[in-house]
Structure 1
Amino acid sequence: MPLPFLTADRAFEAGADDIALPYDDHDLWRRPYRPGPYRVGAAALLLLLASFVLLSAMIIAFAAQTGSALIVFGFGAVVVACALRILRLGVWVSRAGLRRVGFLSTVTVPWSQTSNIRTVQQPVRWLGLPRTVQGQALVMERHGGTQLPPLLTDHSADFLSRVEAFDRAADTIEVWGDEYRTS
């Protein structure tokens, strides 16, 4: 079974350092990096919780409590949906623009509306929590000087303890921006 989210790093691992945009079809939305271990671990724990909740729903249904079983099943389905959404979080790129997928919202910015994408040193949130630490962030400025929240940080769930992966992802997104902002 092909796993397209693993192809982000394969072009770099294969020694193809000269390939800036390693995808064949630039019209598809792609995440230019693998999900980090903390994000995958959180989703796995949620799916483990969901399996227990769904098993409980089945036991409740066998006890002839269909109303309660449907409520518990609905809760299990919400937990599964949250786990899948956690795996979708991040920055996605295509020929059309840049998409920042959050847990509850998604912001898509066409390349023509961006003026600058760069890596800066600034206080960043540690694993998305309120605590901030000094780190690197990939920021994007729109025309007119407005700025989105940081696209990537080196202390996020995708890049904590993976500095090389952050640098590679930031460089790749900057190259996508340079390629399609000018065309």
Structure 2
Amino acid sequence: MPLPFLTADRAFDAVDDVALPFEDRDRWRRPYRPGPWRVGVAAIWLLLASYVLFAAVVIALTGTPSDAGVILGIALAIIVVSLRLLRMGVWVSARGLRQVGFLRTRTVAWERVSAVRTVQQPVRWLGLPRAVQGQALSLVRADRAAGQPGAPLLTTHNADFLGRATAFDRAADSVEAWAEEYGRG
């Protein structure tokens, strides 16, 4: 059974000369594995949710059902937050490029992409206000003035690639390959 989050390694281990050995290119997929920081934070949130669910069971057995319902709602909210953290990142398909954030998702069709390139610039460390020197994968849209890049898609210091420079290079190469195949970038 293939696991969709393992597709980054399969793309570079293929024996063919095809850069993108995927069966269904219309399906949205993340071209890299989620990083250990992202998975670790989500695991801690899920651990917290298990304690809150246990508290909901105890309250349901000893207290009122409305109190147990409130605690159950809190546990479900924690689970939704942790799953959304795992879903964040860059996703690609034949239709375009999708950047999934915590609260919003932006999708850009490949026809509107003029370039995808790796640039050296100050980047935010784990999404915090502190900026450090690093690399960022930037998307330049065709409908922007003077080809100015937007917000970085991936950085060497985000939750997926902190301390994993090789993984960043592979993910950037994969996104650039998708852009080259389907867009003008």
State the TM-score bracket (shorter-chain normalisation): over 0.9
Aligned-partner Cα distance in 1 for 2:14–2:29: 20
Instruction: Report how far residue 148 of structure 1 moved.
Output: 2.5
Instruction: Report how far residue 33 of structure 1 moved.
Output: 0.2
Partner of 2:10: 10
Q: Percentage identity across aligned positions?
A: 60
Q: Which amino acid aligns with 2:123?
A: V
Aligned-partner Cα distance in 1 for 2:37–2:21: 25
Q: Is the 8 A contact 2:11 2:19 kept in 1?
A: no
Partner of 1:72: 71
Aligned match for 2:177, one of 163, 175, 178: 175
Q: Which amino acid aligns with 2:176?
A: E
Aligned-partner Cα distance in 2 for 1:166–1:17: 23
* Structure 1: gaps of 5 or more residues: none
Instruction: Report how far residue 146 of structure 1 moved.
Output: 4.8
Instruction: Report how far residue 43 of structure 1 moved.
Output: 0.5
Partner of 1:109: 108
- The two structures have a TM-score, normalised by structure 2, of 0.93
Partner of 2:49: 50
Within 5 Å, which residues of 2 pair with 1:1-183?
2-12=2-12, 14=13, 16=15, 18-143=17-142, 144=144, 145-182=147-184
Secondary structure of the structure 1 residue equivalent to 2:21: coil
Secondary structure of the structure 1 residue equivalent to 2:29: coil
Instruction: Report how far residue 10 of structure 1 moved.
Output: 2.7
Aligned-partner Cα distance in 1 for 2:49–2:30: 26
Note the alpha carbon deviations across 1:119-178, whole angstroms, 9 max, x for none: 000000001111100000000011133532100000011001110110010011011001
Aligned-partner Cα distance in 2 for 1:18–1:154: 27
Residue 19 to residue 177, structure 1, CA distance change in 2 (3 Å):
same
Aligned-partner Cα distance in 1 for 2:3–2:177: 24
The worse-fitting range, judged by mean Cα deviation, of 89-98 and 18-27 is 18-27
Secondary structure of the structure 2 residue equivalent to 1:42: helix
Aligned-partner Cα distance in 1 for 2:93–2:68: 42
Q: Which amino acid aligns with 2:160?
A: D
Could you say what the CA RMSD is over the residues aligned between the two structures, in angstroms? 1.4
Residue 125 to residue 17, structure 1, CA distance change in 2 (3 Å):
farther
The 4+ residue runs of structure 1 with deviation greater than 4 A are none
The worse-fitting range, judged by mean Cα deviation, of 19-28 and 50-59 is 19-28
* Structure 2: gaps of 5 or more residues: none
Q: Which amino acid aligns with 2:86?
A: L
Aligned-partner Cα distance in 2 for 1:150–1:54: 37
